[in-house]
Every structure is written in C-alpha cells, then in structure tokens.
Amino acid sequence: MTTMPYRRLGRSGVKVSALSLGSWVTYGNQVGVDAALECMTAAYDAGVNFFDNAEVYAKGQSEVIMGEALAKAGWRRSSYLVSTKFYWGLHDGVNEKATLNRKYLLQGIDASLERLKLDYVDLVYCHRPDPETTIEETVHAMHDIVTSGRAVYWGTSEWSAEEIAQAWHVADRRNMHKPVTEQPQYNLFHRDRVEREYARLYRDVGLGTTTWSPLASGLLTGKYNDGIPAGSRGTIKGYEWLVERVTDPAKLSVVRQLAPIARELGCTLAQLAIAWCLVNPNVSSVITGASRASQIAENLKAIDVAGSLTPEVMARIDAVLAARSPA
C-alpha cells in the first residue's frame, strides 16, 4: 500500500500531503456533493490532508459542494487543510472583480467561509496579482484575515518572483504575516517559473509551492492523442479554450514519445507526469483533480512511481522535451 509522504509548506510549521485534491473544473461542473464526498473520502483515507478550492470555481458552487461534503464527512477539523482564493470575484461591481482591494478581500473571506461551512480556512491565496491595488494594501488585508482567525496562512497564485518578494518584504518590515506559499502551474510543458524564476525565493524566504495542472489540463494523460473524447474537459461548456491547448501537435508528439518510458516503468502517462512533479524538492504539494474515486487511487500510485525516476530516467524525459519543435 502506498504511504503518503508529507512536506513542510515552505518554512511554516504545517505539513501538507505530497498529493492534494483540488476542485477546479470538477466540482459544480462534473461533480455534485455525493461524488465529491466519495472522492474526498478516498483521498482522505489514503492520507491526503489538503483540499484546494477558490471563490471563483463554478461561481461559488465549488465551495458550496466541498462544504457540504466536509459537513457530511465529519472529520476532525485539525486533521485536514482547506484553501480558497480571491481575485476574480463573483459579481460585476467595480470593487468586486479582478481586484485585491481591502474591502473585497475582507468581505470575500466571510462569504467563502459561509459557503464552505467552516470557521476558518487554512490557506487563503491572492489568486492573481492586482496592478491597481498597492502591495501594501493587499498585504495588510491578508495579515488582518490571518490575525482575525479566518485563515491560518496566506499565499499567492501566479505572482511573479518580484511581486512575491515585494509582498514578503512589506510584511517583514511591518511585522505582519508573510506569504508562505505560491500556487503556480507546473508540469512537463510549464516549468520555467517554478524551476528558475522562483529559485532565489526558495533559498531567501523559504517559499512553499502547491502546484496545479500536473497533467496540463489532461494533455499528459494521452487521452487527447486522437482528438477530444466525449465527457472530457474539452467538451465542458465554458472550457472551449482548452481545445486548442490539448490538441497542439508538437505537445501531442511529446506525449506519444513519453509513452514508452511510462510502459517501461509499469505506469500510466498520468502517473509519470504527476511523479515527475513530485521529484522536485521545492514542490510542497501537487494538486490533482478527480471526478471519480477510482481516479484518486490511480493518481496515488504516482508516489511509488516517483521513486523510480532515477537521474537516468529524468534525463530521458528531458531529452524528449528538448527535441520538441516550437509550439
């Protein structure tokens, strides 16, 4: 049986499971409360202790579904972590969308907690940087959210290294709660930010990362090798933008070339892709998605596969990627 490893979230004292479960796309679009509870229970029983969400996912319904599932599960609150994120907003008001202003953040966290049926979240992220609100205002608001007990830690998502460093130093100078983690996209096709841009932050401020899209929106599963299958994310209303991304000929060629490596290791392409993310020591947790409990079990096998990714195997993977023609 696979044993779940746990990793410190940056320099914080809390530990997160190496694999976590996110609700983007699935909850509210493909998954209701019962299916969410089934998936979350399968993950929790296997050692997953971190469940990721965001205000904007399914326009708030993702939080509602996760909140209902958590209430039904009845787990000890100290045994798991829940996150949410703010920036995109749920309404079109001038101060309610694409912003990190203080008013929006303080009202947003209260609304999210109500939807999640929780007294607090463990992690609250600034879902994107806001060029119109000063870093000082945003840092102060996040500090107050943590100080008020509505969140335990705060972090950023898809911020540049410069923006993260600026926020960290603002908090440091003012003796406020600092951002402890970043949530960036990270997969075989999207590497530069995590591996190069953030390199100094790991050393200088102990940045943690909870990475998303390890399968590149499903591309790295191989299921798009012959087109868009029925029932896949590429067929979901509102996710038409995925079609061009998952049908890129150069990337599909890479996926096909990775298949023999996966076969030699006795794993699926998806497990290879997730395991590859896990090998990076600067990754605190890899956020995975699932609409069925069986997918949870399959994803968890990536933990064992990671142990088989020797330097030689990693070099072979890099060689395949290096040979990819420009997209």
pLDDT at 5 over 60: yes
The tens digit of pLDDT for each residue in 221-252 reads: 999 887 776 666 665 666 676 777 788 899 99
* 198 located within any domain: yes
The tens digit of pLDDT for each residue in 192-205 reads: 999 999 999 999 99
Spatial distance between the Cα atoms of 100 and 90, rounded to a whole number of angstroms: 13
With a pLDDT cut of 90, the percent of the chain lying above it is 87
DSSP 3-state of 208 = strand
Provide the token pair at 306: 């990671």
* 26 located within any domain: yes
What does the pLDDT average to over 295-313?
97
The tens digit of pLDDT for each residue in 131-177 reads: 999 999 999 999 999 999 999 999 999 999 999 999 999 999 999 99
Q: Where are the alpha helices (DSSP H) in the chain?
A: 33-45, 61-73, 102-116, 135-147, 161-173, 192, 199-204, 241-246, 249-265, 269-279, 293-300, 302-306, 311-322
**Domain of residue 149, CATH code:** 3.20.20.100
List active site positions: 57
Instruction: Output the pTM of the full model.
Output: 0.93
Confidence of residue 327 (pLDDT cuts 50, 70, 90): very low
* 259 located within any domain: no
For the chain, how are helix, strand and coil distributed in percent, rounded to 5? Answer: 45, 15, 40
Spatial distance between the Cα atoms of 22 and 34, rounded to a whole number of angstroms: 16
Look at residues 212, 123, 126 and name the one whose alpha carbon lies nearest to residue 170.
126
How many distinct structural domains can be found in the chain?
1
* 232 located within any domain: no
Radius of gyration of the chain (CA): 19
* 79 located within any domain: yes
* 53 located within any domain: yes
* 122 located within any domain: yes
* 233 located within any domain: no
Confidence of residue 20 (pLDDT cuts 50, 70, 90): very high
DSSP 3-state of 222 = coil
Residue ranges making up the domain that contains 149: 6-215+277-292
The tens digit of pLDDT for each residue in 53-89 reads: 999 999 999 999 999 999 999 999 999 999 999 999 9
